């Protein structure tokens, strides 16, 4: 079934550069918006396309050299559609060629599932272009109630009230990114995605909440102050909050948050390499840190901070270290005492506790409170994620050996903000997040990176980002980074550059069949009612204790 009124005819184009369509008389160019989803009906195939550009044309240069007087409405109307006309540029994204065609070149039975294929050809001259129907959107993007897929509605097209769904099973199996300049609603988009993952039980989440926006509640932008619910309020039985600053958490009225501390013996040299700029560490200091670590093992930081000049001198003479570098390292590491969550020793292993929660199917939000400076955030995030990833590697290797479904680790999605700090070219080899991004699904751990500077992320890592949800970006380097490894990305640049500054995003990649511009789903009371916690099966106390014991064994305690 096609709409009654065609919008235009294909007049020229190519598979690589896209198609030019001349609009029919009576069709206004003002109704043609960049990012619009359109359909071309060819002789044998149907093509699903995105509108990437709009152009005004004239049949003769004389018309442009001598335009009609603004008051001569009659002459303007006579020329419209014949002497003057509009064209649009379309990029075909998917095609469907039915085996049995109805009268209009379509499957006669609309209930039959359509097999969508990558575009390998283009429609012929004068093929007609139509507005997409609700059926087209359902065909391409599915529907949220599909019993065979974990689809989640993230928004709607810019010109229709039809849900656009992403496939959460495909979404969580690769690392993904939410990008956009400051103030475009990246945090709201991220909360939408995390809510969908929790509601559809597609994975468990570990969220490093730099600005305390995901756990209990967050401030909403606007002239009047208001707040929106966090994940803990939406899913009280499924989300746990851990805090690195309990005083800040209590001041904000967060309920049932659990304290989280890290001991010095959990910090490795690789963690210091990540924050070398924040601590102003030289290459020589890091090399001597390795010597100390090799000598004292896990307690090397505690031992270093307690050493006096004579002990440092004696150590350097025996181990061939540099006294000046070790003393500089000792002096700069005293800054770690300013971090509220660090302890010289911790009788309780909190990473073990987080692992137990994840294995029991709980989603964990780690809040930083006042400890949200880059040094604090990068150090804690890297330490915790490295140990959790090590546990997942062991569990994955066991599963690959036994092939027992009960040994399969739960799919884990780790959310980090300011991702370019962890994944830039200079440090990506030194962070666990670079490893996770490159390994993809091999060990059942993936990333959800949230960032306003995608150009700061290493190109190799960006090429591994499966699904990219991008709000407005202005910088050309950032726009180029979004399309790293994406075929036909040049045609989408204009689409991304023309997004509204609020509540619009371009989605492309692994979790959607084709790129699409959406008006993001409102995060409001209606959403709360639709997404709120279902009657989940609660993990028993015995299950949690068993998971804690297993996690402790995996971490070597």
CATH of the domain at 170: 3.40.50.300
Among 339, 360, 395, the domain-final residue is 339
Residues listed for the chain:
557
The CA distance from 145 to 437, in Å, is: 31
pLDDT of residue 502: 82
Please tell me whether residues 447 and 493 are part of one structural domain: yes
Of 267, 340, 331, give the one whose Cα is nearest residue 299.
Answer: 267
The verdict on residue 2 lying in a domain is no
pLDDT of residue 549: 52
The verdict on residue 380 lying in a domain is yes
Give ∠ CA 278-447-462 in degrees, rounded to 5. Answer: 80
Query: Based on the structure, what is the number of domains in the chain?
Result: 3
The verdict on residue 157 lying in a domain is no
Please tell me whether residues 211 and 82 are part of one structural domain: no
Q: Which domain holds residue 382?
A: 165-261+349-544
Among 310, 339, 368, the domain-final residue is 339
Among 141, 157, 174, the domain-final residue is 141
Per residue of the chain (557 residues), give pLDDT as tens.
455 789 999 999 999 889 999 999 888 888 898 888 999 999 988 999 999 999 998 888 888 778 887 887 777 777 776 788 899 999 999 998 876 444 344 443 443 345 788 898 999 999 999 999 888 888 889 888 887 788 999 999 888 888 999 999 999 999 999 999 888 888 899 999 999 999 999 999 999 988 888 988 888 776 677 888 889 999 998 999 999 988 888 888 887 889 999 999 898 888 888 888 888 888 899 998 999 999 888 899 999 988 888 888 888 888 888 888 999 999 999 888 888 889 888 888 888 899 999 999 999 999 988 887 888 888 999 899 988 998 999 999 999 888 888 888 889 999 998 888 888 888 787 788 888 888 766 889 999 999 999 999 988 888 888 899 999 998 889 988 898 877 767 778 888 888 888 889 999 989 999 889 999 998 888 888 888 654 433 433 444 444 445 444 444 44
The CA distance from 163 to 154, in Å, is: 7
What DSSP letter does each residue of 87-149 carry, written as one string? Answer: EEEEEEEEEE--SS--TTSS-S-TTSPP--EE--S---TT-EEEEPPHHHHHHHH--TT-TTS
Please tell me whether residues 285 and 198 are part of one structural domain: no
Residues paired with 227 in a beta bridge: 219
The CA distance from 136 to 133, in Å, is: 5
pTM of the model: 0.84
Please tell me whether residues 335 and 383 are part of one structural domain: no
The verdict on residue 156 lying in a domain is no
Please tell me whether residues 201 and 333 are part of one structural domain: no
CB 95 within 8 A of CB 48: yes
CB 366 within 8 A of CB 214: no
Residues paired with 413 in a beta bridge: 205, 446
Distances (CA, A) of 83 to 67, 75, 197: 11, 10, 53
Please tell me whether residues 389 and 312 are part of one structural domain: no
CB 96 within 8 A of CB 32: no
Q: Is 262 helix (H, G, I), strand (E, B) or coil?
A: strand
Give ∠ CA 383-201-215 in degrees, rounded to 5. Answer: 50
pLDDT of residue 311: 87
The CA distance from 3 to 493, in Å, is: 29
pLDDT of residue 55: 92
Of 54, 22, 45, give the one whose Cα is nearest residue 122.
Answer: 45
Helices (H), 403-446: 420-423, 432-439
Please tell me whether residues 389 and 521 are part of one structural domain: yes
Backbone angles phi, psi at 416, to 5 degrees: -130, 145
Widest Cα–Cα separation across the chain: 98
Helices (H), 403-456: 420-423, 432-439
Please tell me whether residues 522 and 374 are part of one structural domain: yes
In this structure, how many other beta carbons lie within 10 angstroms of the beta carbon of residue 1? 9
Q: Collect all residues with Cβ–Cβ distance below 8 Å to 149 and sequence separation of at least 6.
A: 142, 167, 169
End-to-end C-alpha distance for the chain, whole angstroms? 64
Q: For tokens 């209590």, name the residue.
A: 250
The verdict on residue 435 lying in a domain is yes
Q: Which helix (H) or strand (E) holds 309?
A: helix 309-319
Please tell me whether residues 306 and 387 are part of one structural domain: no
CB 117 within 8 A of CB 29: no
Q: Collect all residues with Cβ–Cβ distance below 8 Å to 225 and sequence separation of at least 6.
A: 219
The CA distance from 22 to 284, in Å, is: 66
The verdict on residue 1 lying in a domain is no
β-pairing, 37-41 vs 18-23, is unpaired
Please tell me whether residues 257 and 271 are part of one structural domain: no
CA 11 from centre of chain? 38
The CA distance from 80 to 58, in Å, is: 9
Please tell me whether residues 253 and 270 are part of one structural domain: no
Please tell me whether residues 187 and 79 are part of one structural domain: no
Two tokens at 324? 């000046």
Two tokens at 36? 């619009």
The verdict on residue 151 lying in a domain is no
Distances (CA, A) of 495 to 301, 473, 515: 51, 11, 10
183: left (phi over 0), alpha (psi -120 to 50) or beta: left
* HSE-CB for 58 with a 13 A CA cutoff: 12
The verdict on residue 153 lying in a domain is no
């Amino acid at each position: 079934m096609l709409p009654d009124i065609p919008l235009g005819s294909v007049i020229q184009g190519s598979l690589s550069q896209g198609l030019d369509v001349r609009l029919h008389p009576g069709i206004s160019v003002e109704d043609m918006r960049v990012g619009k989803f359109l359909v071309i009906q060819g002789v044998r195939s149907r093509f699903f396309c995105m509108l990437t550009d709009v152009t005004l044309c004239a049949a003769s240069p004389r018309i442009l050299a001598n335009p009609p007087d603004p008051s001569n409405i009659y002459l303007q109307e006579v020329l419209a559609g014949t002497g003057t006309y509009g064209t649009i540029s379309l990029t075909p994204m998917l095609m469907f060629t039915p085996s049995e065609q109805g009268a209009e070149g379509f499957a006669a039975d609309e209930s039959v599932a359509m097999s969508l294929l990558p575009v390998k050809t283009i429609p012929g001259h004068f093929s007609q272009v139509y507005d997409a129907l609700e059926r087209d959107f359902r065909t391409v993007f599915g529907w949220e109630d599909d019993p065979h897929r974990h689809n989640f509605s993230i928004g709607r097209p810019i010109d229709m009230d039809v849900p656009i769904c992403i496939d959460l099973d495909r979404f969580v199996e690769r690392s993904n990114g939410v990008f956009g300049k400051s103030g475009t609603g990246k945090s709201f988009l991220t909360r939408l995605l995390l809510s969908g993952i929790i509601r559809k039980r597609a994975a468990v989440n570990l969220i490093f909440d730099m600005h305390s926006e995901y756990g209990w509640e967050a401030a909403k932008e606007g002239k009047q102050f208001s707040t929106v619910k966090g994940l803990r309020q939406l899913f009280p039985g499924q989300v746990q909050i851990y805090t690195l600053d309990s005083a800040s958490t209590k001041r904000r009225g967060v309920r049932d948050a659990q304290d989280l501390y890290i001991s010095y013996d959990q910090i490795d040299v690789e963690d210091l390499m990540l924050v070398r700029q924040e601590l102003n560490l030289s290459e020589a200091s890091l090399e001597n840190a390795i010597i100390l670590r090799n000598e004292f093992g896990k307690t090397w930081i505690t031992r270093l901070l307690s050493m006096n000049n004579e002990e440092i001198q004696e150590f350097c003479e025996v181990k061939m270290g540099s006294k000046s570098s070790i003393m500089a390292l000792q002096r700069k590491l005293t800054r770690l005492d300013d971090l509220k969550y660090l302890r010289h020793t911790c009788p309780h292993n909190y990473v073990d506790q987080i692992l137990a929660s994840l294995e029991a199917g709980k989603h964990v939000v780690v809040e930083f409170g006042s400890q949200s400076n880059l040094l604090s955030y990068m150090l804690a995030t890297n330490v915790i994620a490295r140990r959790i990833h090590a546990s997942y590697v062991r569990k994955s290797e066991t599963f690959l050996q036994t092939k027992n479904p009960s040994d399969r680790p739960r799919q884990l999605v780790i959310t980090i903000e300011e991702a370019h700090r962890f994944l830039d070219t200079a440090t990506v080899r030194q962070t666990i997040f670079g490893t996770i991004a490159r390994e993809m699904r091999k060990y059942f751990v993936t990333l959800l990176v949230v960032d306003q500077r995608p150009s700061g992320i290493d190109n190799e890592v960006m090429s591994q980002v499966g699904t990219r949800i991008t709000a407005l970006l202005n910088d050309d380097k950032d726009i180029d980074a979004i399309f790293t490894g994406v075929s036909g990305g040049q045609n989408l640049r204009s689409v991304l550059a023309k997004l509204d500054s609020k509540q619009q995003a371009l989605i492309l990649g692994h979790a959607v069949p084709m790129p699409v511009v959406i008006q993001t789903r409102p995060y409001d009371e209606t959403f709360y009612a639709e997404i709120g916690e279902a009657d989940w099966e609660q993990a028993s106390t015995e299950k949690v204790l068993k998971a804690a014991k297993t996690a402790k064994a995996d971490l070597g305690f």
